[in-house]
Amino acid sequence: MYKNILLAIIIAIFAGCSAPKPEQAPSWYTNPPKDYKNFYAVAAASDETKVKSMAINILRQNISKDLDASFKTPNHQLSPQADMLREIRSANSHLSNTLSMRAVKVEKSELFNSKTLMLISIPRVELFKKVQDDLNTKIKNLEKSYNAHNDTIAIERYVYLKPLMSQYAYLASRTAFAQISISTYNGNDNFRLLQELGSEYHNLQSTINFYILSDGNSRVYSKAIRDAIEKDGLNISTKNRDSHTLKLLISSKTDNKQEYTFNVSKNLVKFTTFDANKNKILFRQHTFIGKSRKSHKDAKLQTIEHIKTKVKQLGIYNFIGVQSK
């Protein structure tokens, strides 16, 4: 009996050893290579003509993920807040999706389980070169612009920095890409410049406040101006708070007349801004004309929409007299 059991065990062992092993995907597919020379990606598809395109899309996705991850590293120079981080991620995605892939090379291709497996590569230096010249030029221009007009009042400095901030995410993304592409590339100076720009801009944005006053004839215009300032990101104060609070006085002169069957309201509206020391620092005036068959009051109310249109065209700060340098 024991001999029969032993024989059965031996037969089972040999049977297991002689059974065919399941096929395994190649190691280059399950564990794609990583080195300092190339970016790599793998893909699998039943349609052989599509597998390369899929691999390129995956390569782009991998680059975008690496860029996103680079901004989450501890003690990153920028440490962007949530809103700016979203802008940077969008810039990362756009960059990854627009990189030229002409230099892509098929490293390996193999048929496995009725699917074509493919490994592609692209030289890191090739992609780095595509970004480097543009990055260097824009960083130099930004540094030159940032260091100009330092002697202006706070609101003018804020308005001057605002368009520079539109480049922040773009340049942060490209600096990060240069770093992940070439290990010897040092983006610290770029990040330092962006950090200084962002810090000054957000500090001005958080400290500059407008306190809006109007005479009785001009009260109808206050809300449109207040809404435009708040929409831009600055604060409206209910009282003069500190040295950063600007007093914006809205005054106007109205001339009413009749033109045929229309009631015409012509309004000269003045915007005068004072600092905390009551010094006049900004001034601008505009004329707005409204027409109505109902009344002069209705004609004047129509000029509010004219103001909103003008604010949209000029920008709220140009509208009230901030001169862009």
Question: Residue 2 falls within a domain, yes or no?
Answer: no
Q: In the listed set 66, 101, 123, which residue is the last one of a domain according to the structure?
A: 123
Q: Are residues 237 and 288 in the same domain?
A: yes
Q: What are 82's two structure tokens?
A: 């949530």
Nearest to 175 by CA among 253, 231, 167: 167
CATH number for 144: 1.20.58
Three-class HEC string of 43-80: EEECCCCCHHHHHHHHHHHHHHHHHHHHCCCCCCCCCC
Residue 144 placed within a domain: yes
pTM, rounded to two decimals: 0.85
> Is residue 5 in a domain?
no
Query: Coil, strand, or helix at residue 217?
Result: helix
DSSP 218: G
Residue 187, φ and ψ in degrees, nearest 5: -95, 15
Co-location of 138 and 58 in the same domain: no
Q: Which of 232, 63, 50 is nearest to 159 (CA)?
A: 232
* Same-domain pairing of 181 and 274: no
Q: What is the pLDDT along the chain (325 residues), one digit of tens a residue?
A: 555 555 555 555 555 555 555 678 999 999 999 999 999 999 999 988 899 999 999 999 999 999 999 998 888 999 888 999 999 999 999 999 999 999 999 999 999 999 999 999 999 999 999 999 999 999 999 999 999 988 899 999 999 999 999 999 999 999 999 999 999 999 999 999 999 999 999 999 999 999 999 999 999 999 999 999 999 999 999 876 667 799 999 999 999 999 999 999 999 999 999 998 899 999 999 999 999 999 999 999 999 999 999 999 999 999 999 976 5
Among 186, 206, 226, identify where a domain stops: 206
Domain extent, residue 178, equals 126-206
Q: Are both 119 and 134 inside the same structural domain?
A: no
Boundary of a domain, candidates 183, 206, 229 = 206
In a domain, 261, yes or no: yes
Q: What is the pLDDT of residue 80?
A: 87
> Is residue 143, in this structure, part of any structural domain at all?
yes
- Could you tell me how far CA 23 lies from the centroid of its own chain? 47
**The predicted structure's pLDDT at residue 22:** 63
pLDDT of residue 74: 86
Helices (H), ranges, the chain: 2-18, 27-30, 51-70, 82-98, 124-146, 154-165, 168-181, 188-207, 222-232, 296-314, 316-320
Residues 117 and 58 in one domain: yes
In a domain, 163, yes or no: yes
- Give the pair of three-digit tokens for residue 33: 């290579």
Read off the CATH number of the domain in which 216 is found. Answer: 3.30.160.150
DSSP state of 323: P
Let me know whether 152 and 96 are in one domain: no
Residue 9 belongs to some domain of the structure: no
Q: How many domains does the structure of the chain reveal? A: 3
- Cα end-to-end distance, the chain, whole Å: 102
**Residue 6 forms part of a structural domain:** no
